[in-house]
Amino acid sequence: MTAPLRALTPAAPIGYFVHHQGRGHAERCAAIVNALPAHRPVTIFCARGDIFPRMRAGVDIVVIPSLFEPTGAEVVQDFTAQPDTLHCAPLGWPGIRQAMGTMAAWFMTAHPALMICDVSAEVAQLARICSVPHVKVLQHGQRSDPGHRAAYDGAAGLLVPSAACLAQDDWDDGMRAKTCFAGGLGVDTALPDRDAARGRLNIAADQDMVLVLSGGGGTGFPSAPIAVGARALPDSLWLTVGKIARDWHATEPANLRHDGWVDNVADYIAAADCIVASTGNTPCQHVLAAGKPWVAVPEWRYFDEQVEKARVLHQAGVAHAVPGLPSSVQQWRAAITAARDNHDPARQQACVTPDAAGKTADWLEALIDRLWPKTATPIMTESRPAALAET
């Protein structure tokens, strides 16, 4: 018996897996979801429900166990080597079974139009195995391994939250043909007036200021090398915002101030004359939009994500990349000088896509229309296989 036909309506939902580490994944999820048509339901799967900005009506957040962190309930010793096609698939984790089962059950009952994966190669492959088309967020890094390639090759589309000029050389033509580039996606890149920002921060208009912007996705920059930088440029005011790992041996001069987590990071960026920042998604988009001289310092991430991002930023002439925080006064002076001398604000700002969220939402809707034509689509409506139903 042929399976009955059911038309996929315009209201078919989108599923969205969001990695809970850092802020970038949740921020771009919210931006995309809020830009999608109001009639498009979205169900988000994430290990945390408290990391998302405000979202429109019609969005559900389903909290699932983390796919990456043990809970103490794991009882099976991993007695086999992990295959190259997977990145994080230990044996005996009930949390992984619960998370994957929750998503698979939703696939079966919701009949989604699309699954967006940001990011997990395993979740992307789960969607494909369950016959659900998926969009895979493509991040920088050394990701030519079989696990990543399976996720990319099986994707209906790839979404890159940066500009096309920052594409890696190893992203082949097949990948680029199905990629939406959206620089600045998920980041509010609007900045206040420089003088007004300096007034709020109590910084003189003629004071040279170096901002060290430390993200939340890792342990934060260590304080000792930043102190060396402040000593290298004693006439500059050095301010740090974000997470800083304090070193007991750091000798901090009077021109260095740590302000920690702040709600007005835009004031600091607008006020800065030069910025030292990692190459994580959020700081990257902030600095590019601001058009400021930038010493880009990659932090350790899986698959050399920030190392590769720093390389393409340097290659594109929008940042001066160094392998790590400079370790001497001379190295700091050279890095800051290079960042300022080679500064091209117009080239930096061109890396930010106007209305990146709107462009992405339009691309997703067009992809859904292409995947699901207006004609009916076959689905099974019976719990029994068709062969059994005929008996």
Provide DSSP, 243-277: -EE--TT----TTEEE--S-S-HHHHHHH-SEEEE
Total residues belonging to the chain: 391
Same domain? 265 vs 215: yes
Q: Please give the pLDDT value at position 1.
A: 41
Same domain? 237 vs 379: no
Query: What is the percent of the chain where pLDDT is above 90?
Result: 80
> For 92-101, what is the mean pLDDT?
94
Range in 75-84, 151-160, 246-255, 346-355 with the lowest mean pLDDT = 75-84
Range in 31-40, 72-81, 308-317 with the lowest mean pLDDT = 72-81
Would the pLDDT of 189 be above 50? yes
| Secondary structure class of 134 (helix, strand, coil) | strand
What is the distance between the alpha carbons of residues 383 and 193, in angstroms, rounded to a whole number? 62
Q: Please give the pLDDT value at position 348.
A: 98
Q: Please give the pLDDT value at position 75.
A: 78
Q: Please give the pLDDT value at position 321.
A: 98
Range in 118-122, 150-154, 284-288, 385-389 with the lowest mean pLDDT = 385-389
> Long-range CB contacts (< 8 A, 24+ apart) of 29-34?
29/116, 29/118, 29/186, 30/54, 30/55, 30/186, 31/185, 31/186, 31/356, 31/357, 31/360, 32/116, 32/185, 32/186, 32/357, 32/360, 32/361, 32/364, 33/59, 34/357
In 3D space, the residue among 206, 194, 174, 178 whose CA is nearest the CA of residue 292 turns out to be: 194
Residue-wise pLDDT for 209-226, tens only, equals 999 998 766 678 999 999
> For 264-270, what is the mean pLDDT?
96
> For 187-199, what is the mean pLDDT?
95
Range in 246-250, 286-290, 363-367, 387-391 with the lowest mean pLDDT = 387-391
Domain count for the chain = 2
Range in 238-247, 284-293, 294-303, 382-391 with the lowest mean pLDDT = 382-391
Same domain? 113 vs 248: no
Q: Please give the pLDDT value at position 202.
A: 96
Same domain? 37 vs 76: yes
Q: Please give the pLDDT value at position 388.
A: 36
Same domain? 331 vs 366: no
Q: How confident is the model at residue 76 (pLDDT cuts 50, 70, 90)?
A: confident
Cβ contacts of residue 384 below 8 Å, gap of 6+? none
**What range defines the domain where residue 298 resides?**
194-349
Would the pLDDT of 266 be above 50? yes
> For 39-65, what is the mean pLDDT?
97
Q: Please give the pLDDT value at position 9.
A: 54
Give CA 263 to chain center in angstroms: 20
Residue-wise pLDDT for 133-177, tens only, equals 999 999 999 999 999 999 999 999 999 999 999 999 999 999 999
State the chain's mean pLDDT as an integer. 91
Q: Please give the pLDDT value at position 90.
A: 87
| Secondary structure class of 286 (helix, strand, coil) | helix
Read off the CATH number of the domain in which 213 is found.
3.40.50.2000
Would the pLDDT of 37 be above 80? yes
Q: Please give the pLDDT value at position 217.
A: 64
> Of residues 7 and 233, which shows the higher confidence score?
233
Residue-wise pLDDT for 3-13, tens only, equals 444 445 557 99
Same domain? 362 vs 282: no
Q: How confident is the model at residue 381 (pLDDT cuts 50, 70, 90)?
A: very low
Same domain? 318 vs 364: no
Would the pLDDT of 378 be above 50? no
Same domain? 285 vs 357: no
Same domain? 231 vs 361: no
Helices (H), the chain: 24-35, 94-110, 121-129, 146-153, 173-177, 194-201, 223-232, 265-271, 281-290, 305-315, 329-341, 345-349, 356-371, 386-389
Same domain? 283 vs 258: yes
> For 274-292, what is the mean pLDDT?
95
Would the pLDDT of 382 be above 60? no
Same domain? 357 vs 342: no
Q: Please give the pLDDT value at position 384.
A: 39
Same domain? 31 vs 9: yes
Would the pLDDT of 390 be above 70? no
